[in-house]
Structure 1
Amino acid sequence: MLANTRDVLKHAQHHQYAVAAFNVYNLETVQAAVKVAEKEQQPVIIALGERYFPTVDVEGFSAMVKGIATKASVPICLHLDHAYEKKSIIRAIRSGFTSVMYDGSKYELEQNIQHTAEIVDIAHMAGVSVEAEIGSLARGSFSDEEEGSGTLTDPLLAKEFVAETGVDFLAAAIGTVHGMYQGEPNIDLGLLEKIRQEVEVPLVLHGGSGTPDEIITKAVQAGICKINVNTEVSMEAVSFLQRYFKENEMVHLSTVMADMQMAMEPVMTKFVQLFANR
């Protein structure tokens, strides 16, 4: 079933687990995420980044996801990830996305608040929930995200930001990175605890790929309700294709895509089970 992301994350917050938000790019990544969600009987968030708009027909993509979600036995959310342009957010809302992320982290706090509050007003009129970010993630290896400053979230500024914008859930920067870590992860769980004390809305952790399992578990227990995963799934799919074509000279595309989907499912399953905090 297609679900409002805010409602799904409120349930996760109340029951102390996190929902996997998988970045997707095509039919196979969507089908893999939904299949895993149904098998594990956990909700899942299908996340399409603004950076993929040039290669993905947004309206067609939304129709596809909504069609698949309608048949699912668990809540499926459709989320716009890391959008910087208002026109992209409006396009996603009109297409039927159930949540959008406005990323104003490059701006000073006052500007970020102003822009985010405007997006919240627009989205809420359509019944769409909003994620925003204060602080910024650095970029690690194998990521296609923009380079961030790596500035950690200030708990008191986060409290002000949420109060002034009315945002539904907040991405907190505590030391994770987009992509894979270069060197040992330096993740500040103590900072997360302080943010949780100041902020009542569900908290989001970007950069789930490569983060040690024990850190993920502690982060969920400390209040993280949504965790974004992109790079590890992408790396598994690409590695599979590299192995596949070394072993097979010529095969039909339909077979390749079906097998690639199957290769991604165990990676997604690992994350869904870990985030469930059972």
Structure 2
Amino acid sequence: MFINTKEILSVAQQGNYAVPAFNVYSLETLQAAIHVAEQEKHPVIIALGERYFDTVDVEGFAALAKTLAEKAAVPVSLHLDHAYQKESIIRAINCGFSSVMYDGSKYELAQNIDYTKDIVELAHQAGVSVEAEIGSTARGAFSDEEEGTGSLTDPQSAKRFVEETRVDFLAASIGTVHGMYTGEPDIKLELLDKIQQAVGIPLVLHGGSGTPDETMQQAVARGICKVNVNTEVSMAATLYLKESFEKGQHMHLSDIMAGMQTAIEPVMAKFTRLLK
């Protein structure tokens, strides 16, 4: 069933669990995310980043994603991830995305608030929920995200931000990274407690890939309701492709793509089970 992301996360917050938001970039990654969600009997958020707009037809992708979501036996939503341009957000709203993320984290707090308020007003008029971010998630290894500063979220700034913007859920920067960690993860769970107490709305963890299982579960217990996952799925797919070509066999493209979907589903299933 295709529903609004805010509804999915409100139920998750009440139930003290989290929902994976898998970045997808092809039919196979989309099918894998929904197939795993149905197998695990758990909601899923399909995320398409603004950075993929050059290679993915957004309107065609949205139509496909919504069709598969409507057929699904579990709640599925469609989310625009890390959008920096208002035009991209308008495009996503117009073709039926359930939620959008405006990323104004590079700006000073007051400016981020002003820009985010504008997006919230625009999106809410269309019944679309909004995610935003203060603080900035750093970029680790194998990530295709923009470089972040790694600055942590200040709880009192988060409180002000949420009250003034009326954003629906907030990405909290607590030490995770986009991509894989290059050293020992230093994730501030005590800071997460303070942010959760300050804002009250569902919180989002960016940088699920590589985060230790126990840390992930503790973060969910402390208020994380949505976890973004991209790099580990990408790495499983590219490893499968590399091994397939190294065999030196002439494989049909249809078999390669089906095999890639099979290869990434265990990664998606692992994260889904961690968040229940």
Specify the TM-score bucket, using the shorter chain as the normaliser: over 0.9
2:167 match: 167
> Which consecutive residues of structure 1, in runs of 5 or more, have no partner in the other structure?
none
Superposition deviation, residue 250 in structure 1: 1.1
Superposition deviation, residue 249 in structure 1: 2.3
Helix, strand or coil: the match of 1:21? strand
Superposition deviation, residue 139 in structure 1: 0.4
Helix, strand or coil: the match of 2:151? coil
**Aligned partners of 1:200 and 1:187: how far apart in 2?**
20
**Aligned partners of 1:240 and 1:199: how far apart in 2?**
42
Deviation per residue, 1:93-149 (Å, 9 max, x gap): 001000000000000000000000000000000000000000001100000000001
1:124 match: 124
TM-score by length of 2: 0.99
2:150 match: 150
**Aligned partners of 2:217 and 2:55: how far apart in 1?**
35
**Aligned partners of 1:105 and 1:12: how far apart in 2?**
25
Say whether residues 1:53 and 2:53 are aligned partners: yes
**Aligned partners of 1:234 and 1:240: how far apart in 2?**
10
Report runs of 4+ in structure 1 exceeding 3 Å deviation.
none
**Aligned partners of 1:21 and 1:266: how far apart in 2?**
15
Say whether residues 1:250 and 2:271 are aligned partners: no
1:269 match: 269
Helix, strand or coil: the match of 2:9? helix
Percent identity reads 67
Superposition deviation, residue 189 in structure 1: 0.2
**Aligned partners of 1:260 and 1:21: how far apart in 2?**
19
Superposition deviation, residue 248 in structure 1: 4.1
Q: Which amino acid aligns with 2:138?
A: A
Deviation per residue, 1:10-63 (Å, 9 max, x gap): 000000000000000000000000000000010000000000000000000000
Residue-pair matches, total: 276
Deviation per residue, 1:232-255 (Å, 9 max, x gap): 000000001001111142111011
Q: How does 1:112-261 map to 2 (within 5 A)?
A: 112-261=112-261
Helix, strand or coil: the match of 2:47? strand
2:22 match: 22
Helix, strand or coil: the match of 1:106? coil
Deviation per residue, 1:199-256 (Å, 9 max, x gap): 1110000000000000000000000000000000000000010011111421110110
Aligned-residue Cα RMSD (Å) equals 0.5
TM-score by length of 1: 0.99
**Aligned partners of 2:201 and 2:11: how far apart in 1?**
12
